[in-house]
Amino acid sequence: MNAAVGSVGVWLAFVAAVVGALTMAVSIVRAQRGKAPDSRFDGRLLAPVLLGGMVLAVVAMEHALVTHDFSIAFVADNNSRATPLLYSITGLWSALAGSILLWGFILSVFVCAVVWRFRAATADPVVAWATLVMFVVAAFFTGLMVGPSNPFLHVVGAAPAQGAGPNALLQDNPLVAIHPPLLYLGFVGFTVPFAFAIGMLATGRVGDRWQVETRRWTLLAWTFLSVGIVLGAWWSYQVLGWGGFWGWDPVENAALLPWLCGTAYLHSVLVQERRGLLRVWNLSLSVATFSLTILGTFLTRSGVIQSVHAFSDSTLGPILIGFFLLVVVVGFGLIAWRGDRIRSPGGIDAPLGREGAFLINNLLFVGFAFVVLLGTLFPLLYQAIKNQQVTVGAPYFNTVAVPVGLALLVLMALAPALSWRTVNAGVLWRRLSPAAWAAVLVIVGCVAGGIRGLVPLLAFGLGAFAGASAVRSIVLAVVTSRRHGRGILRGILGRANGGMIVHLGVVVIAVGITAATSFVQRSELALARGQLVRFDGHTFVYEGLAKVDSPSRTATEAKIRVDGGGVFRPAVTQFAGANSEAVGTPAIDSGFTGDVYLTLDEIGGSGSATAAQEFPGLPGGSVAIGVVIEPLTAWIWTGGLMIGLGGLLALSPGRRRRATDPVSGAAPLDEPEDVPSHASQAVPIGHGNGDAGDREVSAEPVVTAGR
């Protein structure tokens, strides 16, 4: 029954997507020929049908997972009767076919959201083209489900009495319920700006209105993806037992690549809104960001890479890479075809002003994305050409990541203080001097505290520089908001200060990563029962083993008292199900200043826990534990939450603002230059959407030098 209902839902969604695309195409052709709109060719009416079909399919699959319907091959392979309810529910995205099902469902939600949002723009050709593109993308992904990635296939022969169960790493932490859906929301959300970019290029209407309109959709997708990436690092840190959070794995890189291009777009689109510049660049970034989501889908779902994050082998590789090439050819082909028509009418007046800072920002993000893409794809290309395996490791990526990260911290500090179109050194120093002194004090304090090393000192100092600059912007906005009787909350709502809170989150993450990677200490300790061992200023006492038996798992835990306080229990765990292998389960003593990360490596006299070769002569009654001391690791997760909060605040509607400053015209005489954020320039698009963040006015005197 579940398989039948789910199959009906998938087919209903597929037919709705195909027919929706065809009817939208007919409607566009009719409009180009001057014919009146005809409701028979209004493909938008099929968006709810698409969503309804996907909801039906998802509900059927979840019901099958929760009720352990092992007649469905996907359920039999990824579920067992002993699997807890939470991990039965998350089993939907625990394997290939279910992940495509979730992708299609989220895409159908975005299609309906776009249709509803632009329901009044029935005759707008850009909206029509964007809707057509989204239906085409939906037809592709639902087509995968009716073809090579059908999640509702029956098992061969009789249904088994017991399923194989999920992968052990997918039932060892509740973050599995949050991290993947957030990544999917980010990946799929980038379909919207791509669809509108194609619409603008196809119609030739490449003015600034639609870039402004799609900014919010991009910001929404970017926020989901940002938080999803950080939670993925947290999940990896808590589950994999290696004490790290980012290993430059190809699947990790697949999520990072669209994030880098999406971040570049969110910054550069401000220049287009404010000055009418970078049109070609912004359209290219929209196409590139969506293309990289498809490339990431290929990397994770084709079986071409071996990764703890990747899905197993599948037949989707050629189909996905073909769709990726189609997106690239169509998107960049349209940009080349439009040529001079979409080129901005002017240039950057002040290379050392805010426009120049945005340009450097974009070059850094896109350049780093190219480096990551090259390092990710090179092993695949080398193996295809030479039939030999080669690995590109963390040193390659870190060689570029470190200087790029430091440069971005500098720009994050400078940009909020820079003016559009003019540069006044005196005014700039007055705005930056508090942040600069904060950086100096932090560096002096670090040196006095015994911290050495050029990179850590630069990172901490520049982090203070950027953080203080962001705090200054927020304080100015709050002061101005209170002065105008709008209250503190209104002072932090809107894109400007949401962007500054995002900047603070990035600074916190940068400081956390620098401390955790620069000053990490690792060791393996052999502990007899009752023995106290010291390492890196911490004490460890082994108090014995404990056995845990439950229907869903069995575990052997070592009870370790840390610093005379609480007892932590690193373990080796075996989950129920044929798919499950014994995995290490770390125990983490996490605090504001750092983490103590424990793993159970060996149990003396009874064989290996996870790494018996390390202590071959370990006596009975003893254990070997891995210990990782990492300063400020919790700052990374805190920074991720701050980014999510800043993104939500940036999405909040704010006070409307005046139109943007045209390229060749002068800025309004009453417009203050000292705005709190380089992200504070927005413009209403003219049809009542309330999509402009607050434009905070500086509490400092207005400076109009050079006008």
Give pLDDT tens digits for 565-587.
889 999 998 887 666 678 888 99
What pLDDT shows up at residue 257? 95
What pLDDT shows up at residue 666? 34
What pLDDT shows up at residue 154? 93
Query: Across all residues in the chain, what is the average pLDDT?
Result: 84
Give mean pLDDT, residues 305-323.
71
Give mean pLDDT, residues 621-633.
92
Question: For residue 373, what are the contacts with CB-CB under 8 A and spacing of at least 6?
Answer: 253, 257, 292
Instruction: Tell me how far apart the alpha carbons of residues 703 and 424 are, in angstroms, rounded to a whole number.
Output: 9
Predicted confidence (pLDDT) at residue 417 exceeds the cutoff of 50: yes
What pLDDT shows up at residue 371? 94
Predicted confidence (pLDDT) at residue 648 exceeds the cutoff of 70: yes
What pLDDT shows up at residue 428? 84
Between these two residues, 165 and 74, which has the higher pLDDT value? Answer: 74
Question: For residue 393, what are the contacts with CB-CB under 8 A and spacing of at least 6?
Answer: 248
What pLDDT shows up at residue 317? 83
Residue 70's closest CA among 577, 550, 554? Answer: 577
What Å distances lie between residue 572 and 93, 176, 342, 508, CA to CA?
A: 25, 19, 60, 33
What Å distances lie between residue 70 and 63, 66, 86, 314, 324, CA to CA?
A: 12, 11, 18, 21, 34
Give mean pLDDT, residues 53-62.
97
* 85 CB-contact burial (10 Å; exposed 0-12 / middle 13-18 / buried 19+): exposed
What pLDDT shows up at residue 681? 35
Give mean pLDDT, residues 427-450.
92
Predicted confidence (pLDDT) at residue 556 exceeds the cutoff of 50: yes
Give mean pLDDT, residues 144-160.
91
Helical packing angle, 279-301 and 191-203, nearest 10°: 130
Predicted confidence (pLDDT) at residue 18 exceeds the cutoff of 90: yes
Predicted confidence (pLDDT) at residue 290 exceeds the cutoff of 70: yes
Instruction: Tell me how far apart the alpha carbons of residues 74 and 150 are, in angstroms, rounded to a whole number.
Output: 9
What pLDDT shows up at residue 133? 96
What pLDDT shows up at residue 444? 96
What pLDDT shows up at residue 673? 35
What Å distances lie between residue 161 and 70, 76, 83, 577, CA to CA?
A: 7, 9, 14, 12
Give mean pLDDT, residues 377-384.
84
Place of tokens 């912007």: 473
β-pair partners for 525: 625
What pLDDT shows up at residue 610? 52
Predicted confidence (pLDDT) at residue 312 exceeds the cutoff of 80: no
What pLDDT shows up at residue 275? 74
Predicted confidence (pLDDT) at residue 110 exceeds the cutoff of 80: yes
What pLDDT shows up at residue 612? 41
Instruction: Tell me how far apart the alpha carbons of residues 437 and 426 are, in angstroms, rounded to a whole number.
Output: 16
Secondary structure (3-state) at 367? helix
Beta sheet of 594-603, edge-to-edge order? 521-528, 622-631, 594-603, 587-590
Place of tokens 């938008």: 44
Are 11 and 50 within 8 A, CB to CB? no
What pLDDT shows up at residue 306? 58
Are 604 and 542 within 8 A, CB to CB? no
Lowest-pLDDT choice from 350-359, 417-426, 660-669: 660-669
Predicted confidence (pLDDT) at residue 422 exceeds the cutoff of 80: no
Work out the pLDDT band at 696, boundaries 50, 70, 90: very low
Predicted confidence (pLDDT) at residue 682 exceeds the cutoff of 70: no
Are 267 and 679 within 8 A, CB to CB? yes
What pLDDT shows up at residue 615? 60
Residue percentage of the chain with pLDDT more than 90:
52
Place of tokens 């064989």: 607
- Would you give the end-to-end CA distance of the chain in angstroms? 73
Structure tokens at 177: 């319920």
What pLDDT shows up at residue 703? 32
Predicted confidence (pLDDT) at residue 657 exceeds the cutoff of 90: no
What pLDDT shows up at residue 616? 61
Rg (CA), the chain: 27
β-pair partners for 549: 554
Instruction: Tell me how far apart the alpha carbons of residues 328 and 62 are, in angstroms, rounded to a whole number.
Output: 35
Predicted confidence (pLDDT) at residue 419 exceeds the cutoff of 70: yes
Between these two residues, 493 and 454, which has the higher pLDDT value? Answer: 454
What pLDDT shows up at residue 204? 84
What pLDDT shows up at residue 305? 63
Predicted confidence (pLDDT) at residue 439 exceeds the cutoff of 70: yes
What pLDDT shows up at residue 516? 94
User: In this structure, how many other beta carbons lie within 10 angstroms of the beta carbon of residue 544?
Assistant: 12
Residue 620's closest CA among 603, 601, 602, 605? Answer: 605
Work out the pLDDT band at 559, boundaries 50, 70, 90: very high
What pLDDT shows up at residue 678? 37
Are 292 and 193 within 8 A, CB to CB? no
Predicted confidence (pLDDT) at residue 660 exceeds the cutoff of 60: no
Predicted confidence (pLDDT) at residue 613 exceeds the cutoff of 60: no
What pLDDT shows up at residue 676? 37
